[in-house]
Structures are given as structure tokens and as C-alpha cells.
Amino acid sequence: MKTFGLDELLAPLTQDEFFKSVWPEKPLFIPAVDGKLKELFEIPQLQNLEALVAARHSKVRACLPDFDDEYSSIHVEPKDALKVYDNNMTLVFDNMQLQNATIANALRQIRSELGLPMGTEENNLCKARSIAYATPAGCGTRLHFDANVNFIVQLHGSKSWKLVANTSVKNPTERYTASSFEMSAALEKQCHDMLIDEVPDDTEEILMEPGCVLMVPRGYWHETTTSEESLSLNFTFSQPSWADIFTKSMQEHLLQNADWRELADGLESLDEKRKALAVSKFEDLVKKLASEFSTISGKYLLNESGFLNE
């Protein structure tokens, strides 16, 4: 079974050094090293864009040129992918792990070595996925930050990256694109300062060439441009927070009790009486839970929800 993991992705940096001084908050650029990630570079469908499109059975996202942001995209059939690419649209190949076993194995191994919590299959808080990006020359992505962490391997061509630390929001749970004027209510509550709308002038440029690896932490601002065609592969992981772990675990715990499984009847009723009754019922449930709470341990909750097996 062909695979590789965090050791190969980070080389020559060791996992010890990575966990001690980089993960999870600092960005990391690793210049190309001869022979590194051989298993990945030998995958036939990653040899060039034509091979990647030929191996594709599901739709490809094509980024609309109006906004330079991958979330402004349309889905196209693989047979039309090269046509839209020739019209200067970046192609995004989601879920690459479903179309190649080496990528799937590596993704699983990297997630496990990062120690990212997944919980049960249904919970799958980590949502590990691999995404390939084919970017024509003269394109790019405008300044944004993501709620997940990305490990990027440059396969062919090159791409310039500018990274800027985020001083407006720590550990964001939502993605945001500069100047999009669309911010989720959740992100608005998390920001403690105004978000920037452009990269500061003195920001250094990182040139990703074949074999280079880049880790962009969750929340770190980044924008990209290409002066030639670029093909890269991402390993992307959501960042399950303690709040996620707690709420998932608590839900597992509460659902063992028929009173908590009861329909939240009348909570948004137009009848004020029914609504007041519902609020009072919830109040009672919460008070009862609060009184029991000191007997609930973290370990118990983790075991209930499958994050721990002890």
C-alpha cells in the first residue's frame, strides 16, 4: 500500500520540531528537497492538468473571474473543465482522496499523526479532505482567511503567496474574504478588532515551486497570484474546538434522557402562552442539568462521544 505521512510532508523538519515550535498557530514554508514526496509525485493523474481532468468522474469547481475567490464558483462537468480553464478560470478538484488511494492513505495518516479529533464516523468533526487547484497564469485568490488548516504541496509551475498574521480575530470558526462585506454573525462576535482589507506593503512574498510545502494555519490571512500556470494539492483539516467537543459530547449525554429528547414544542410559537411554557420547561431542564453537572467528568463525556476509548 503506497502511502506517506507527516514525516515525509515536513522533511527535513522533524515532527518533534513541528509540534514544539510551529503547530497549530504558525505558518511554515518548506523549500523543495530532491526526491521528497516521491509517492505523491509519481501518481499518474497528478502529472499534468490533462491527466487530472481525464481521471475525474465528478464535477469540478470553476472559480468565477469576477471576485477571485474560490467560493464564487460554478460546478462544471470534467469534459468542460479544460475549456473554462482556457478562459482563465481556476479549477478546484474537491475530494481528491476519493479518486486516488495514495492520497486517501496519506490524508488518513497525516490526520492521525496531527492527532486531530474526529469522534465517531457520523460526527467526523475533522473533515479531512484533499483538494487540487489548477490555476492559469495571471490569476489568483484575493486576500482571505480560512477556518481550517491547509498543507499545500506545489506539484507543477509556481504560485506566489503572501501571508499575514491575523490580529483581529483569534481562532476564527468561519472563513472570511477581504472586501466581501459578507460576514457571518458568528465571526462578527469573534472579532475584537477591524479586519484588514489589503496586505500590508512590507509583506514578504513566498514563491511556491514544485516540491515546496506550505502550511497555512487556521485564521492566517493569505492571498495568491500566478505568473505561470500552477498545479497544487492541498491536505485540508477542519479544526475541532473544545466547544465542538463539548457540545457533541453533551448532546450524546443528553440524548440518553427522554426529557431532553422531547420535542422543543412551542418555543417559537406565535401563541405567547405556549411560548412561555416552552421557555419555562427549558429553564427547568437546564437547572436540573446544572445541579447534576458537578458529577459529570470530561473523561466521561469524551468516552460517551467516542473521542476516547478507556
In the chain, alpha helices (H): 6-10, 15-21, 38-41, 49-54, 78-86, 101-114, 185-190, 242-254, 258-261, 272-292, 298-304
Rounded to the nearest whole angstrom, what is the least distance from the CB of residue 216 to Fe ion in the complex? 6
Q: Which is nearer to Fe ion, 68 or 252 (CB)?
A: 68
Q: Which is nearer to Fe ion, 71 or 260 (CB)?
A: 71
Rounded to the nearest whole angstrom, what is the least distance from the CB of residue 300 to Fe ion in the complex? 37
Q: Which of residues 125-164 bind Fe ion (CB under 5 A)?
A: 146
Give the torsion sign (CA, 80, 177, 104, 119).
negative
Rounded to the nearest whole angstrom, what is the least distance from the CB of residue 141 to Fe ion in the complex? 6
Rounded to the nearest whole angstrom, what is the least distance from the CB of residue 35 to Fe ion in the complex? 28
- Expressed in angstroms, the distance from the first to the final Cα of the chain is 30
Q: Which is nearer to Fe ion, 76 or 149 (CB)?
A: 149
Number of residues that bind Fe ion (CB under 5 A): 1
Region class of 91: left (phi > 0), else alpha (psi between -120 and 50), else beta: beta
Rounded to the nearest whole angstrom, what is the least distance from the CB of residue 126 to Fe ion in the complex? 18
What CA–CA distance (Å, rounded) separates 251 from 60?
Answer: 36
Rounded to the nearest whole angstrom, what is the least distance from the CB of residue 16 to Fe ion in the complex? 28
Q: Which is nearer to Fe ion, 146 or 304 (CB)?
A: 146
Return the SS3 of 125: coil
Report residue 10 CA to chain centroid gap. 19
- Please name which of 165, 168, 166 lies closest in space to residue 194, comparing C-alpha atoms: 168
Q: Which is nearer to Fe ion, 146 or 252 (CB)?
A: 146
Q: Which is nearer to Fe ion, 68 or 146 (CB)?
A: 146
Cβ-contact 41, 100 below 8 angstroms = no
Rounded to the nearest whole angstrom, what is the least distance from the CB of residue 222 to Fe ion in the complex? 6
Cell matching residue 132: 487540487
Enumerate the β-bridge partners of residue 159: 208
Helix (H) or strand (E) holding 219: none
Q: Tell me whether strands 230-237 and 221-225 are parallel, antiparallel or unpaired.
A: unpaired
Q: Which residue is nearest to Fe ion (CB)?
A: 146
Rounded to the nearest whole angstrom, what is the least distance from the CB of residue 200 to Fe ion in the complex? 18
Rounded to the nearest whole angstrom, what is the least distance from the CB of residue 223 to Fe ion in the complex? 9
Q: Which is nearer to Fe ion, 173 or 305 (CB)?
A: 173
Site membership for Fe ion, residue 229 (CB under 5 A): no
What CA–CA distance (Å, rounded) separates 41 from 297?
Answer: 47
Q: Which of residues 157-196 bind Fe ion (CB under 5 A)?
A: none
Q: Which is nearer to Fe ion, 62 or 301 (CB)?
A: 62
Cβ-contact 235, 106 below 8 angstroms = yes
Return the CA Rg of the chain: 23
Q: Which is nearer to Fe ion, 111 or 142 (CB)?
A: 142
- Would you tell me which residues interact with Fe ion (CB under 5 A)? 146
